[in-house]
Amino acid sequence: MYASIRLIFTCSLFALPLVACGDDGNATDANATPGTTADDTTTGTATDTPGTTTGTDATTEPTTGEPTTTTTATETATSPGTTTDEPGTTTDEPGTTTDEPGTSTEPETTTTTTTTGDGLSWETDVFPAAIEGNCGCHQQGSGGLTITGAQDSYQNLVDVDSTQAAGFKRVVPGDSANSYFLAKLKGTSGEAPFNGNAAQMPKGGAPLSDDLIALVEQWIDEGAAP
């Protein structure tokens, strides 16, 4: 009996490793995925999915190595049809320059006639046309005025005080309005401002024509040259 028990015990010792090895083989096979081995458990799934990459290059665009620049317009945009200088304007505007059309930047000037003695001549222009032959009464010195020729009549008229209108001269060079002699020829000697003898020259004869009176007036205003 003891011999049988030892035999059974001995057989059991040899059978236990075999049972253990069988369990290990089944455990390994049960956990293994078909088509794979224990060493290739990570190769069943493709590392790279088609169309995608797992590296950093899949999400980062390649760079050229050159710095990225952003262009910023430095010129101010202007509306179409306009420039920095508006059309028709300068430092002077069209039609509005520093000098606007129709206007002048120069100060207005008043023309003043200055007589130089180069105007009408009493001896050659006025006396022969207006006085000689028309004022015969003064050849005898009528009214205190003697007129016998161009020379003596000039000396008796220009810058000589009137004997009929106090404060006035017979002829004032350059000032026909205050020349009593012209007022006598016009027939206004009795009026203001002269208030002198109202008789018109030539006395006893027809008045001088307007053209001749205008000739005498021009001669006085031009300076009453001899």
Residue 181 to residue 220: CA distance in whole angstroms: 10
- Per-residue pLDDT of 164-192, as tens digits, reads 999 999 999 999 999 999 999 999 999 99
Residue 109, pLDDT above cutoff 60:
no
d(CA 224, CA 117): 7
In the predicted model, what is the mean pLDDT of the chain?
66
Q: 């304007």: which residue's tokens?
A: 89
- What are the boundaries of each domain within the chain? 122-221
**What pLDDT band is residue 114 in, cutting at 50, 70 and 90?**
very low
- Mean pLDDT score, 53-74: 40
> What band does 133 get if pLDDT is binned at 50, 70 and 90?
confident
What is the Cα–Cα distance from 21 to 72, expressed in whole angstroms? 78
What is the distance between the alpha carbons of residues 150 and 153, in angstroms, rounded to a whole number?
5
Question: Is 27's pLDDT higher than 90?
Answer: no
pTM: 0.48
Confidence category of residue 205, pLDDT binned at 50, 70, 90: confident
Helix or strand run (H / E) with residue 4: helix 2-31
CA 219/CA 226 separation, integer angstroms: 10
